């Protein structure tokens, strides 16, 4: 069972940016509604479950504590962007590299649905000098992303999002669940050691491979287990690591 947490950005009495007509609503209200549509869609999928979480009264940390207690496999916090009237496009934020595949999947689904400019997947630092870092650092080794599908300050963006809201909910929900299912099937783990040696075989007698060691936080795919050792794939290559340093 894949469990996707949908976190509604902002709070009812501090509801975030306001979108122009035809939305005429703040982030909190618009995304609460979007989250309900997404949850309905996820809960109708096989092997998937969604739950909506709020920051009201508990703040960012409290909301994500509840998300982790629920046992979420990933979290998606819903926002929209705001700047001048001509700023436009879709961006999705992630912090850790293990969250990037989920960010890319949701970004692609959003671009296909809304047809707005591709501003890319970004870290908070790249997007806005760090805004969103706290939100995106609460999930430990589970993927965590923050969506900015459009600019509420732009009339054309707001019109596209308003018109295609149900399609946006369905596309984002489907993209996220399909990606999480593929990660699940791939048995993805994260390195928890300052440096993890990669060896040519399952034991310390085997040579260290020159493309290693792996830095803390590296995402690896475990292909097979050999006692205390795991045979792994990464973007950089393949080899054996001591499995005690994977979480
Ligand atoms: Zn926001």
| DSSP calls for 62-107 | HHHHHHHHHT-SEEEEE--B--STT---EEEEESSGGGHHHHHHHH
pLDDT digits (tens, 9 = 90+) for 87-124: 999 999 999 888 999 999 999 999 999 999 999 999 99
Tell me the sheet residues that pair with 215.
195
10 CA to centre of ligand 1 in angstroms? 6
pLDDT above 70 as % of the chain: 100
CATH architecture of the domain with residue range 188-245: Roll (2.30)
The answer on pLDDT for 186 being more than 80 is no
Residue 141: predicted pLDDT: 84
Cβ-based neighbour number of residue 209 at 10 Å: 17
pLDDT digits (tens, 9 = 90+) for 3-58: 999 999 999 999 999 999 999 999 999 999 999 999 999 999 999 999 999 999 99
207 CA to centre of ligand 1 in angstroms? 50
Residue 13: predicted pLDDT: 96
Residue 199's pLDDT band, with cuts at 50, 70 and 90, is very high
203 CA to centre of ligand 1 in angstroms? 49
79 CA to centre of ligand 1 in angstroms? 4
Tell me the sheet residues that pair with 12.
none
4 closest CA partner among 38, 28, 33, 32: 38
Are 145 and 184 within 8 A, CB to CB? no
Q: Report the C-alpha dihedral over residues 121, 123, 124, 129, rounded to 10 degrees.
A: -110
Residue 183's pLDDT band, with cuts at 50, 70 and 90, is confident
90 CA to centre of ligand 1 in angstroms? 13
221 CA to centre of ligand 1 in angstroms? 33
217 CA to centre of ligand 1 in angstroms? 27
Residue 243: predicted pLDDT: 94
| CATH number for region 2-185 | 3.40.630.40
Residues of the chain by 3-state class (helix, strand, coil), percent to 5 = 35, 30, 35
110 CA to centre of ligand 1 in angstroms? 17
Q: How far is CA 142 from CA 80, 151, 157, in A?
A: 23, 28, 31
> Where is 11: in which H helix or E strand?
none
110 closest CA partner among 126, 128, 91: 91
6 closest CA partner among 57, 62, 49: 49
Residue 160: predicted pLDDT: 98
What count of Cα atoms within 13 Å lies in the side-chain half-sphere of residue 125? 3
Cβ-based neighbour number of residue 219 at 10 Å: 21
The Cα angle at residue 92 between residues 193 and 94, in degrees rounded to 5: 10
52 closest CA partner among 61, 60, 62, 66: 66
10 Å CB burial of residue 104 (0-12, 13-18, 19+) is middle
Residue 237: predicted pLDDT: 87
30 CA to centre of ligand 1 in angstroms? 11
The answer on pLDDT for 221 being more than 80 is yes
Mean pLDDT of the chain: 95
> pTM for the complete prediction?
0.79
Q: In the chain, where are the structural domains located?
A: 2-185, 188-245
69 CA to centre of ligand 1 in angstroms? 24
């Amino acid at each position: 069972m894949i469990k996707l947490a949908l976190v509604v950005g902002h709070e009812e009495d501090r509801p975030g940016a306001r979108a122009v007509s035809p939305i005429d609503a703040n982030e909190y209200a618009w995304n609460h509604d979007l989250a309900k549509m997404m949850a309905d869609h996820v809960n109708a999928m096989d092997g998937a479950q969604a739950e909506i979480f709020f920051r009201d009264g508990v703040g960012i940390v409290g909301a994500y504590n509840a998300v982790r207690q629920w046992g979420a496999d990933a979290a998606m916090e819903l926002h929209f962007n705001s700047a001048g009237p001509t700023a436009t496009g879709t961006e999705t934020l992630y912090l850790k590299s293990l969250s990037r595949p989920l960010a890319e999947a949701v970004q692609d689904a959003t671009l296909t649905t809304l047809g707005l400019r591709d501003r890319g997947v970004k870290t908070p630092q790249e997007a806005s000098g760090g805004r969103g870092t706290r939100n995106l650092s609460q999930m430990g080794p589970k993927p965590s992303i923050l969506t900015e599908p459009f600019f509420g300050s732009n009339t054309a963006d707001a019109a596209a999002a308003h018109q295609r809201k149900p399609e946006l909910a369905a596309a984002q929900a489907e993209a996220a669940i399909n990606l999480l299912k593929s990660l699940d099937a791939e048995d993805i783990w994260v390195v928890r050691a300052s440096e993890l040696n990669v060896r040519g075989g399952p034991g310390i007698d085997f040579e260290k491979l020159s493309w290693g060691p792996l830095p803390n936080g590296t995402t690896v795919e475990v292909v097979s287990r050999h006692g205390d050792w795991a045979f792994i794939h990464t973007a950089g290559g393949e080899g054996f690591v001591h499995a005690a340093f994977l979480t």
